Amino acid sequence: MFERVTVQASDVEASARRFYAHLAPRAGLRLGTDTAERVQCKGNGGSFSLVAGTPTEHAAMAFAAAGPAESLTDPDGNRIELVG
């Protein structure tokens, strides 16, 4: 479980509004703060934000998911695991 995680993204629009907004419901997350510079996903007891900047590299995050397990790569090359 996470409490607060921030990941920098080269393109907040592509990473957060497209990729993570699509992924959020399967991972039990919902969108919170949404500005041009930052998008936040909230879950029970924690939050995860994508902010504009030099992209975070080689991150690996796993989320409990509704549905089958899946391995994904975000637009900046970070590995995302949905664990069913």
**What pLDDT shows up at residue 17?**
83
How many CA atoms lie within 13 Å of 83's alpha carbon, on the beta-carbon side? 7
| Fold exhibited by the domain 4-83 | 2,3-Dihydroxybiphenyl 1,2-Dioxygenase; domain 1 (3.10.180)
Res 51 pLDDT > 90: yes
User: H helices within 1-84, ranges in order?
Assistant: 12, 21-23
**What pLDDT shows up at residue 1?**
56
Span 29-48, pLDDT tens digits:
998 988 888 999 998 878 88
**What pLDDT shows up at residue 43?**
87
Span 54-77, pLDDT tens digits:
999 999 998 888 889 999 999 999
pTM exceeds 0.85, yes or no: no
Residues 15 and 78: beta-carbon distance below 8 Å: no
